[in-house]
Structure 1
Amino acid sequence: MKQFESFRDFYPYYLSEHQNRICRRLHFIGSSLVIVMLSFIIYTQAWIWLLLLPVCGYGFAWVGHFFFEQNKPATFTHPFYSFLGDWVMFKDIILGKVKI
């Protein structure tokens, strides 16, 4: 398992694990749904639905990795950096820095 001294060092590796366009799209869909669901949960105060957030977010991402990217998600080896990478990539997609 490769070690990283900082997120700055990790993020290029993270992007290299997301070269497949469908995988990146599935990440974007999952992250978007997490934002929508979290907004709904806060608005309705239906806190039990918080349990579905990881299923939604990671479910789409893992389908992208296992079936399209054909690699293991970085979540298994670098959980914190991977979680942060998901949101930085989401932002970079919105800003047009990463193509979907």
Structure 2
Amino acid sequence: MNFRSLDELWAFYMSQHSKPSTRRWHFAGTLTALLILISSIIFAWWVIFFVPIFGYGLAWYSHFFVEGNVPATFGHPIWSLMCDFKMFGLMLTGRMDREIKRLGKRPVLQVF
């Protein structure tokens, strides 16, 4: 799919993250990647190698085994990373449900 703007991709991106557990896996991956990045700056530079492994690994796990789709990273790597940070920020500030409703999506009820 071709998108002309980040806003167009954002609506698609959210449709690919419809399950709360998918978003939680993304949150965990982004948080872990950020903590590893900080650790690599403070303690040892070679630890930076683990940033994409944990960041993408946890997110991709959620797409393949929870959501059942292909990560947007494969088609739009930079924009999907930007969308991931936006989703992370919305979740961190408790505004994710409001954004889902704004986009006309209903949260999917799920145990995990």
Shorter-normalised TM-score: what interval? Answer: over 0.9
Q: What TM-score does the superposition give when structure 1 sets the normalisation length? A: 0.92
Q: How many matched pairs?
A: 98
Long gaps (5+) in structure 1: none
Q: CA deviation at 1:57?
A: 0.2
Counterpart of 2:45 (choices 15, 26, 47) is 47
Partner of 1:82, secondary structure, is helix
In the other structure, the counterpart of 1:7 is 6
Residue 16 in 1 paired to residue 15 in 2?
Answer: yes
Structure 1 stretch displaced more, 90-99 or 65-74? 90-99
CA-atom RMSD in angstroms: 1.3
- Return the alpha-carbon distance in structure 2 between the equivalents of residues 58 and 36 of structure 1: 14
- Return the alpha-carbon distance in structure 2 between the equivalents of residues 89 and 52 of structure 1: 22
Q: In the TM superposition, what whole-angstrom CA distance separates every residue of 1:11-36 from its partner, at most 9, and x where no partner exists?
A: 11101100011111000001111111
Q: Is the 8 A contact 2:13 2:83 kept in 1?
A: yes
Q: Is the 8 A contact 2:63 2:70 kept in 1?
A: yes
Q: CA deviation at 1:51?
A: 1.1
Long gaps (5+) in structure 2: 98-106, 108-112
Q: CA deviation at 1:73?
A: 0.2
Q: In the TM superposition, what whole-angstrom CA distance separates every residue of 1:43-66 from its partner, at most 9, and x where no partner exists?
A: 11x111111110000000011000
